Amino acid sequence: MVTRVLAIKNLEKHIGEDLSKHAKKFGITTYFEGKQNKGWKGLTLERLAGLSSNNKQAPNGLGFELKSTAFYRPKVCGLRKKLLQLL
């Protein structure tokens, strides 16, 4: 089993890289018939971390579970306009 420290070291090697290229290399489907496979990013990260992919509720690694989330920049156009109006 992979430890948390080892998983982090494995993932740090890939910071800034395109996950879709790794998904293709691992044979993970990102889109099928025009619809996105919602789990492709998590599956790809698991493989990069050295973890086995599973759908179980048990931890992936030695006492930890890998989770991923997406961050989006908020649209500030309307907010910026309102702030300028207040000034």
pLDDT digit string (tens) for 4-22? 899 899 999 999 899 999 9
Which 3-state string (H, E, C) describes 2-58? CCHHHHHHHHHCCCCCCHHHHHHHHCCCCEECCEECCCHHHHHHHHHHCCCCCCCCC
Q: Which domain holds residue 10?
A: 4-86
- Global pTM reads 0.70
**For 42-84, what is each residue's pLDDT tens digit?**
899 999 999 876 656 656 666 777 777 776 666 666 565 555 5
Distance (Å) of CA 38 to CA 13, 52, 58: 24, 18, 20
Query: Kindly report the CA angle at 50 between 12 and 5, in degrees rounded to 5?
Result: 55
Q: How many domains does the chain have?
A: 1
If pLDDT is split at 50, 70 and 90, which confidence band does 87 have?
Answer: very low
